[in-house]
Amino acid sequence: EPEVTQTPSHQVTQMGQEVILRCVPISNHLYFYWYRQILGQKVEFLVSFYNNEISEKSEIFDDQFSVERPDGSNFTLKIRSTKLEDSAMYFCATGGNTEAFFGQGTRLTVV
C-alpha cells in the first residue's frame, strides 16, 4: 500500500532556529499539503501545493513558513525562525482522486 513518509519523527530545536520538515509523497499524486496539530487542539490546514506553487494557504502560514519540492520528490516545510508556539505535530498529506493520504507526522518541539 502506498504511503507518505515524513522525517524526522521528532525534532527538538531552540527558539529562533530554522527547521526543515521533510515529506516523501506518493509518487503519482499532484497535490501536497501541510497540516499542524498543536497539542490538544484541532488539526489545522496550513498550505496546499500544486504544480510547483502554493495554491492556497491559511492565516497561520505567514512569512516564517515556506514550502518547496527541491528535487521533484521530497516536499519540505521550512520554518525560518521558530517560536515556542510553533511546537506541534506537523502532518504532510498528498491528495489523490478520492482521498488524502497522511504521513505519520513530525513532532516539533521548540525550547
Partner 1 sequence: GDSVTQMEGPVTLSEEACLTINCTYTATGYPSLFWYVQYPGEGLQLLLKATKADDKGSNKGFEATYRKETTSFHLEKGSVQVSDSAVYFCAQTNAGGTSYGKLTFGQGTILTVHP
Which residue's CB is nearer to partner 1, number 45 or number 74?
45
33 is an interface residue for partner 1 by CB under 8 A: yes
Quick check: helix, strand or coil at residue 84?
A: helix
Q: How far, in Å, CA of 28 to CA of 32, rounded?
A: 11
**CB closer to partner 1 out of 48 and 82:** 48
User: Grid coordinates standing for 57?
Assistant: 494557504
Residue 48 interacts with partner 1 (CB under 8 A)?
yes
Task: Say which DSSP state 64 is in.
Answer: T
**Binding of residue 59 to partner 1 (CB under 8 A):** no
Is residue 42 a contact point for partner 1 (CB under 8 A)?
yes
List 20, 31, 68, 76, residue binding partner 1 (CB under 8 A): 31
In 3-state terms, what secondary structure has residue 72? coil
Q: Say if residues 45 and 58 touch (Cβ distance below 8 Å).
A: yes
In the complex with partner 1, the residue whose CB is nearer, 13 or 104, is 104
